[in-house]
Chains A and B, each alone.
Chain A
């Protein structure tokens, strides 16, 4: 009997020792000099499409927008930010009358299930489609972004825009160059975003009674698709190193209500092999953005 009890205690103590606990005394990391990831200018790195699925009636969403802004500042030129307003919290009412919903945004939200999973949340290069970690809480975004921006890109995208201010007409030429031997099925999507829009936003972090911010600034807001939500096929029979293709989209009318000088063209290329067995379906392989004018 005594032996059993002693053995049991020994097993428990051993187990506790194995499953150690990390008591954190200081939550702030020791800052180390940041190694420049783009030190070798001949290497083209992967740019990361960071999508924030949000809504103006979503009181928990402003911290996600703040995270997007923080990432954009810290990893400037290495990420392509996109804010998609869709789902219940993007509906309009008397207090939130500005409609930020778009057909393309609703298509993404329906396909990926973001608003049905609870806003706010986001996608990082749309990695992990069909797995539990596909939709990501904003608190985890940076952890996913950091390793991706040091990956060598499989494609390079260049955007060339010409904008006619009289007719509000945009011509955009997207050059996609294969930087490796790519044997899959790829599609190119071209979108329009707008910065610096002032409108109402609900924010639960503010004191009760003043949670509606009337002059909230919305950035990277998805305004629509220049081609379509799921894009045009490029390199239909695979691509070799330095194979290049140009897709031109002419006479796209930018809504005169949008301030064209605050608008961007976003282009991304994704894995369009959507068969169930493809673990990288929908994954964005390269993204780029450029000002409309």
Chain B
């Protein structure tokens, strides 16, 4: 793509967006129309130093637009999406264009009916969670019908049936579900209704149907998951827990095990002025639940197995992110936030925020069953719930944010992380090529607001990794195999915001300590951003390192990429 065509491209989309903005919020007796648009496009180039080879399709984009109409209790909407082809790193099955989401909804008094596509969540989502995450290009919207019935204040009943979105088509399985929730205190108008303690009880049942076409196995065509939950709230205190049970559900994900699935999820929190504390715990065993038993990647998931680990925004803190192990795990997380008061020795003039966060996850303690003794039931393994297995991951971190003067603010962060790379990323116990990783990571982030509406932000990060080579493979020359070891990294970033509209960012990630000298590479990156009301435009140029993305026994290699990216979004 020539510079001229890039210019034309930017002009076209900018004009289109400003044109739309001029119609902002058409509100009159005809109802109101809202919408939003986004396009992320990239023009890739070959970069032999980082091993980026985009092939012949150099221009790729992810684009979508929502248009919703509402009047009184009626609403309807459509979403158009286009990926020809999708950006590097996204599932290629999304290639194409279409309208995968359209709905009509009507609410009147105690009844709320939706036909077409909808998103829904029952409880924590362990039995059903239909949602979208546009950043990950995850969308398991249901296409069918949903009824929400509120017969009395404090009682909500939901029933739904539909098929899940699978790229631009639908899953072969049908999902049926019901959910009921009762807020005990709201039912009573008497003294109990004015109680400071609130108790909410809920239960759900979700079943899927998929035809058995397998000539060599008897597969359950109807598979059900049921769950019960409760929440207690009093003042700043909150406790909630949910238990779920799934019947035999052989699938590609669990290697066609007929074992039942179980989950126990609980969390509690307490918050008061300047202080909060939170703990969450979970035990998940064979709870992957999909509407297509042969689905892989993140396709056709009916439920959501929660992840309580901290979502890091600093790039090197998230160098090895953790994802819930779909076949089972046990663990938890905790967080304490404390605001040091103004005027104290530590707090100074503006106070200081301290956050302590930690999470750790372990394998279930499982024992494989001898296939000769398991030829009828195909259960494959048993679980000892009284114990835990090997460690998968931990992340202990502290974050301190302090404002020194009106102009100067600083964030300091430290983390200690461990990753059982072979299991979590490659689903194998083989540590020959995938050694355990231990890392200490530090971040210093300083923002200097040199005048009103203008600031410069400096960010420096260091990732100091060590690898456990006790099970590593040795080459014939006696040297240890370090194929998947990238050693340590540093990252520097400067972000200049001269006005509230514009920002310029320059960044570099440097793999200074890669054991292979040729791989000690700079991953540079530059971006210019423009924001005006709801409209955001950014143009960036740089390198993205390669990575492996695994979900349940299927690993997808996300190749390194290099090139020019443009992102435009707006809403009205």
Contacts and interface: CB of A to CB of B under 8 A. Distances in A.
Interface of A: 1, 4, 7-8, 11-12, 15-16, 18-29, 59-60, 87-89, 93-95, 110, 113, 115-119, 121, 130-137, 139-140, 142-144, 146-147, 204, 208-209, 211, 276
A27 B554 contact: no
B376 A26 contact: yes
Contact of B152 (A1, A94, A117, A143): A1
Given A4-B151, A121-B296, A137-B296, A24 B218 contact: yes
B498 to A, nearest CB: 40
A100 to B, nearest CB: 17
28 contacts: A4-B155, A8-B155, A12-B178, A15-B159, A19-B224, A20-B207, A21-B207, A21-B247, A22-B221, A23-B220, A25-B377, A27-B376, A28-B217, A60-B553, A110-B55, A116-B91, A117-B92, A117-B297, A119-B555, A130-B96, A131-B169, A132-B167, A139-B294, A142-B216, A146-B213, A204-B428, A208-B430, A209-B432
B328 interface: no
Give the secondary structure class of B's interface: loop
B431 interface: yes
A120 to B, nearest CB: 8
Interface string B543-572: 000000000011111010000000000000
A132 B554 contact: no
A29 B215 contact: yes
Contacts of B553: 60
Contacts of B426: 59
A22 B222 contact: yes
Contacts of A116: 91-92, 556-557
Nearest to B376: A26
Given A8-B151, A20-B222, A21-B247, A143 B429 contact: no
B180 A8 contact: yes
B532 to A, nearest CB: 36
Contacts of A24: 218-220, 248, 258
B120 interface: no
Q: Which of B218, B250, B297, B475 is the most central at the interface, judged by chain A CB atoms within 10 Å of its CB?
A: B218
A110 B554 CA distance: 18
A245 to B, nearest CB: 31
Interface residues of B, number: 73
B93 A143 contact: no
Contacts of A140: 213-214, 252, 294
B144 to A, nearest CB: 14
Closest 8 CB pairs of A and B: A113-B92, A132-B166, A143-B213, A19-B207, A22-B220, A118-B554, A88-B557, A140-B294
B296 A146 contact: no
A115 B557 contact: yes
Interface string B388-429: 000000000000000000000000000000000000001111
B294 A117 contact: no
A29 B554 contact: no
B471 A208 contact: yes
A209 B428 CA distance: 11
Nearest to B551: A118
B109 to A, nearest CB: 15
A195 to B, nearest CB: 24
Given A15-B205, A27-B378, A140-B294, A1 B187 contact: yes
Contacts of A134: 93
Interface string B197-227: 0000001010100000111111111111000
Contact of B169 (A1, A7, A132): A132
B176 interface: yes
Given A11-B157, A116-B91, A208-B432, A27 B178 contact: no
Given A21-B207, A204-B428, A132 B178 contact: no
B299 A132 contact: yes
A92 to B, nearest CB: 13
A117 B93 CA distance: 8
A156 B503 CA distance: 65
Contacts of A142: 214-216
B168 A26 contact: no
A71 to B, nearest CB: 11
Interface of B: 55-56, 91-93, 95-96, 151-152, 155, 157, 159, 166-172, 176, 178, 180, 187, 203, 205, 207, 213-224, 247-248, 250, 252, 256, 258, 292-297, 299-300, 375-378, 426-432, 471, 473, 475, 483, 553-557, 559
Q: Which of B91, B176, B427, B471 is the most central at the interface, judged by chain A CB atoms within 10 Å of its CB?
A: B91
A113 B95 contact: yes
A139 B220 contact: no
Contacts of A60: 427, 553-555
B485 to A, nearest CB: 14
Nearest to B166: A132
Given A132-B167, A140-B214, 15 more contacts: A4-B152, A7-B151, A15-B205, A20-B222, A22-B222, A23-B248, A27-B377, A28-B376, A110-B55, A113-B93, A116-B557, A132-B166, A139-B214, A146-B215, A208-B432
A137 B294 contact: yes
Given A26-B376, A139-B256, A87 B214 contact: no
A118 B297 contact: yes
A18 B206 CA distance: 11
Nearest to B552: A118
A19 B555 CA distance: 34
A20 B220 CA distance: 11
Given A110-B55, A208-B431, A135 B93 contact: yes
A17 B96 CA distance: 40
B430 A59 contact: yes
Contacts of B300: 132
A119 B554 CA distance: 7
B222 A118 contact: no
A60 B427 CA distance: 9
Given A21-B207, A115-B557, A116-B91, A133 B172 contact: yes
Contacts of A15: 159, 178, 205
Contacts of B213: 140, 143-144, 146-147
A256 to B, nearest CB: 29
A118 B556 contact: yes
A115 B548 CA distance: 12
Contacts of B221: 22
Contacts of B428: 59, 204, 208, 211
Nearest to A94: B475
A21 B220 contact: yes
B216 A93 contact: no
Contacts of B170: 132
B228 to A, nearest CB: 12
B434 to A, nearest CB: 10
